[in-house]
Structures are given as C-alpha cells and as structure tokens.
Structure 1
C-alpha cells in the first residue's frame, strides 16, 4: 500500500472559540472557521476546488455550500462519529494525493448546545442488530473501562481517582492558557476527586464538555506549498480502523485497551516511518472524552508500556513541559467537544505548535505531532490517527 507521507501540505487553518456559542448558528461558525483558514492560506474562497465537510447533526452538504457561497463546487459530507473531522481531513488528503485536486478545504462543525438535552443523549441506531445496548450513555461505557482497569492492574479506587485527577488538572491548566477553549480555568486535584459522580468511578471533572464549534484546514499538493507560505506543515501518516464490534463478540476482550486505536496508530506510524513513538513524537492531541480514556490511549499508542500509564501520569511525563505533551491545548476535557469539529481542532493545535505560534503553550522546536480520535465505545469503535510534521 502506497504511503501518503509528504504528498499533502496544510497551508492554512482556522478555528472558532469552542463553547456555548448561543449567538452563532452552525452556518455562522462554518463561515468563521473557513474565513480564517482561507485568509491564513492567503487565498480566496473561489480558489477552493473541493470541500470535505464533517458533521453528525447536519444531514447534507448543502448547508456548508450555502454558508460558504461555494456554488456548484463539489462538497462531500462525511461522518464517522467522533472521528468525523479527522475523516474530513483524511478524505481531503486523498483528494489531493490522487492528483484530481490542487487546493481543497476540510471543515467540520457541530452545534450541540441548542439540541434541547444535556450531554449527547443515549445510544441509538447502530444497525439495530441487537449487539448494542440501548439507552446507555458514553459515560457508562467508559466507566466500565475505569473499573476494569482497576481490577486488571490491582489499583484501588483511591489510587485511580488520584491519577485521573492529575490528568484533569493538567488539561484544565492547558485550557486556561488557550483563549479559544470552552473551559479556561484551573482546577485542583481535590476538586476533581470530590466532584459529583457521573458514572462510578468517573466524576464531573473526568468528563469532557459538550460544545459548539468549527475548525477548518486548507490543503494543497506538497510541491505547491511554498507558493502559499514558508511555514506550512506536512501530512506524514494517516490511520483509520473500525472495530466491527469485535470487543462485544470476543470473550477475550480485556476492556483495558481499544484495539481500533492500536491498529490506527500502527497504520499511521508505518506510513510516517515512526519506530519509537514515545521518542519521536513531540506532542499529541488525543481523544480524552473521559480522563480514563486519555490514560488508556497513551498506552494504546505506545507512549508508555501497558499498565504503566499511572506511573507516567504521576511523573508528569505528559504535561506541557514533559517529555511528550499530551493535549497541550486543553484536550476535549477543557477545549470542548463539538463532535464534527474536534479532530480538526486538534490538528489546528499541532499546526500552530509547528509554526511556533502557540503562545504560552508553545513547545520547544517540535518536529512531529499526532492527533487521535475515537468514536463509539470500548469494544466497538472507530480509531483515527494523523501524524503531522515540519517541512523538510
């Protein structure tokens, strides 16, 4: 299989503030994100040859075309649960790499705060073949992962809560440095440990926010990138793995890893030529829908050995000034999670870090960054990984 490495460049990006954007519609946020991305690339909207549009709530591509005044331009709506925005970018990359297009837009949006319910609602759809458990929340599924992690590795409730609190405190600290984040205030470990329970053992500060927001990227052929800017970044690897409910079907599933994340990571690492992720990657934006999820993801992606996540968290390995910064922009926990936009928001942070424009969150001379999304629940999900790097 041929690699995508260094065939596609990102030359412009935009991202709205995430949060309770009561004064903006989904279309308003699409315009804001796309306008910033196009201006950042130094082009006009008329220069966009095709669009991949990610959303889980809008049913067609037409709202995107209308909002951006892209009359008769091919706009393709994509949806892959929480990997939706990254899926928009992945398909846009293939559109460029195929040679069909020179300049395209990947964009995602979600308007969740006006839907008339708290959270994301309950599980529905999913094929209706009886293998899904109906009426259960995401928190409940990931709480199962937390309880299983305790049992599998011999941790007490108190030990686990302390570790998860450190993850939440880290992400709130990073978010406090980010003016576009939904939540911009620090918390303490005591606040996280003693917060109201959502689904035992996960409390309020173990869960990410439900937000409105949009993010966008302008991509082009690698050989054209210098025409747009000097500080463009390169797509090094892409991975996508869909689990086909194997965790539900196989009694051997251990509930302390997500095989879809493992497989997507392996695909992306192979494309990018990465052999030792912990040593080679400088920063990572991962899908911390819950604090336990972030810790398990760091093991799944090879940032630490199996069962050693708590040790690495206690040692500060994944802090902003640690060996490998995880969620330097605040992550889903603090930046928020408008489902159709989150993956591109993660890529926005890597883009800014590679350009040295991340302000107080800036890492020193990063060369490789990773983004990761996970849709659905442990046992059956969608894992998506993107590797991005500096130009040669």
Structure 2
C-alpha cells in the first residue's frame, strides 16, 4: 500500500478557541479557522481548488453548500463529510486523496460543529426513524460497558480512570484554546457525580463548539509558501469501520476496539513504522472518556495489554514522559465538537512538529500520531504526520 508519504503535505493550519461560544455562529467559527489557515499557509482563497468539511449534525450544516456559502468559495467542489467522531479526520483523508491522486494541488480540509445552542444535556439525537436493532444507549452507557469489563479483566478501578483525567487536565491547563484550562486533583475526580457507573463527571469529555482547518498541498508547491522550510508531511492515514452494534456480537470482549487496532496496523504499514513506541514521539488520542484513552493506547500498540493504567500513573504518557499522550489536554479539555475534533488534533500535531505549539511543546518532536474513535466503537481513524526531514 503506497499511502500518502512524500506526496501530500500540510502547508498551513488554523483553529478557533473551543468552548461554550454563545456569541459565535457556525459561520463565524469556520471563517475564523479557515482564514487563519490560509494566512498561515500564505495562500489566497482563490487558490483553493476543492474542499472537504467534517460536520456531524444536520443543525450545523447540510451538504458542501454549507462551507461554500460560509466561506464564499463558490464554484469549486465542496463536500460535507460525516463519519461519526472521525468526521473531521475523514475530511482530511479525502483532501489528501485529492492531492495524492494528482487531481488537485491545493485543497482545504476543515471541520466544525455548533453543539451548545441545542440545549441538550448530552449529545443531541441524530433524529429520524431507526430499526429496533439500531437503538443506541447514550455514549456514557456504551463506554461504561468497556470500563466495567476492564475492571474485571485488568484489575483497574476508578482511580485508574482518574489518573487519566488528572493528566489531561494538567496538560490542558497550559493551552490557551482549550475549553477547560484548570488542573484538577484526583480527589475531585473520585468525588464527582456519577454519570454512568463507573464513569463520573470528570471521566467524560464535554460538549463544545469549535472549528479547525488545514491547507493540503504537494511538497513541490509547499516549497514556495510560508512554511517552505517546515511544512509537515502526511506519512499515513487509515480508517477502519466495524459493527455499529457490538453488544449483539457474542465474541465482542469490550476490552479493546477492533476498529482502532486495525486502523493502527494499516497506518503503521503505510508510514513504514515497525516499533511505534520507539518511532512515535507523541500522540493525540481519542479520550471521549477516560477508559477510551486507556484502551486506545493499548490498541495502538503503545504498551502491552493491561499495562496502560499503570503507565499513566507512573507518568509514562505525561508531558515529559517517554511517550506523551494528549499534551493539548485532549477531548477532556477541548470538549468534542464532533466535526471539528479530528482536524483540531491534526492542527495540534502540525504545530508541535514545527516547534510552535500553543500549549506544552514536546521537545524535538519528529513524528506524531492522531486517533479518532466514533460511534459504538464503530469507526477509527489514525493519521501519522512527520517533519519534512523524516
């Protein structure tokens, strides 16, 4: 599998602050992120040949007409991409395919979501009629199944989960664009109200508003742009899709996510990575719940099965540790505006690799990995980026 390596690069990035942005509309958010990315790349809107925009919910926007209208980029192909929580990263994948195919040499990948105006106490319902087989529990209920099973199999407990929350909130307290910028103590996590046992308030990421954007081009064109000396290579992107109803599969063990496992293997093969622990310098990992981060770390081959809890406690995955995970603060601190999250992670990777992170800066980072997990553990996306000297 040839992949994207040496054919696709990131020329510019931009993103909004994430949070309860009552004073900004979907249009405000997307325009801010995209025009920041255009300015960062040093290109004009008229140079964009096509665009893909991650949007999960219909109330945020329908069709490619939404980003085209907001950005006033009329006449070029624009596509709305929806793939659960991987929507933004899938928009990025499609943009990369457009450049790698040779059809385009300057495109836009972006994502946005405006959740807070809906007034729901959790993720808004998708709407529409469903079959009896497709009735979903709320997200905390889904991931609580994985938590309770992991407690039984690995001997983890609520303190194991709390260590993840404490780590990510410490990281996020340093990031100016995070929704939550306050470090927390383990005691606060353990005493927080239960949402769905064993997941408490601090085990769950929040809803949020936000947008992020990336300008994708070829290495040849990038050498004439602002970041001609530090553009970022796209080494790999892989998506794996599995069942939407794992609870109906008798062999589903709930101590790992097959979609993450397979997407990781595919991405490593594309990037030529043999030993991810030694070759990857930092990770932005989907942490919609604390248990999700722990299991995804294991599924991505970043530690042995059952060891993630112990390693988080020891600081292995903290800033300054062997393999920092979610130095931005992750979804725990940014919240999760679904369509924007994947692109936001890739903005973080890009700026880290260029040595200009907005929050904590990973020292001498050469290769970074970003990961999304969406639906009922259904779809996983893994992207690997590298400095242009790798």
Tell me how far apart the structure 2 counterparts of residues 2 and 232 of structure 1 sit (CA, whole Å): 21
CA contact (8 A) 2:180 2:333 kept: yes
Q: What's the counterpart of residue 53 of structure 2?
A: 53
Partner of 2:66: 63
Match of 1:142 in 2: 143
Cα RMSD over matched residues?
1.4
Instruction: Show the 5 A alignment for 1:12-31.
Output: 12-31=12-31
- 1:56 deviates by 1.3
CA deviation after TM superposition for structure 1 residue 6, in Å = 2.0
Q: Does 1:36 align with 2:29?
A: no
Give the secondary structure class of the aligned counterpart of 1:325: coil
Q: Which residue of 1 aligns with 2:82?
A: 79
- The 5 Å alignment of 1:349-388 reads 349-378=348-377, 381-388=378-385
The alignment partner of 2:264 has SS state of helix
Q: How many residues align?
A: 384
- Report the TM-score when normalising by structure 2: 0.96
Distance, in Å, in 1 between the alignment partners of 2:366 and 2:88 is 23
Task: State whether residues 353 and 362 of structure 1, in contact with CA within 8 Å, keep that contact through their aligned partners in structure 2.
Answer: yes
- Give deviations 1:53-82, integer Å, cap 9, x for gaps: 110121222121111110111111111010
Gapped regions of structure 2 (runs ≥ 5): none
Instruction: Measure, in 1, the Cα distance between the counterparts of 2:359 and 2:117.
Output: 32
1:186 aligns with 2:183: yes
Partner in structure 1 of residue 214 of structure 2: 217
Residue 208 of structure 1: aligned partner: 205
Corresponding residue for residue 166 of structure 2: 169
How far apart are the structure 1 equivalents of 2:359 and 2:31? 27
How much does 1:131 deviate? 2.8
SS across alignment from 2:38: helix
C-alpha displacement of 1:2: 2.6
Partners of 1:103 and 1:267 in 2: how far apart?
26
The equivalent residue for 2:133 is 131
The answer for unaligned runs of 5 or more in structure 1 is: none
Normalising by the residue count of structure 1, what TM-score does the alignment of the two structures yield? Answer: 0.95
Select between 249-258 and 29-38 the one with higher mean Cα deviation.
Answer: 249-258
Q: Which residue of 2 aligns with 1:91?
A: 94
Q: Secondary structure at the match of 1:307?
A: coil
Mapped to 1, the partners of 2:277 and 2:124 lie a distance apart of 36
User: Given that residues 242 and 383 in structure 1 are in contact (C-alpha distance below 8 angstroms), is that contact kept between their aligned partners in structure 2?
Assistant: yes
User: Contact conserved, 2:282 with 2:324, CA < 8 A, in 1?
Assistant: yes
Deviations 1:306-363 (A, max 9, x none): 1111111111111011111100101000011100000010011111111111155001
Q: 1:121, CA displacement in angstroms? A: 3.3
Which has the higher mean CA deviation after the structures are superposed, 62-71 or 104-113? 62-71
Maintained 8 Å contact 1:131/1:248: no
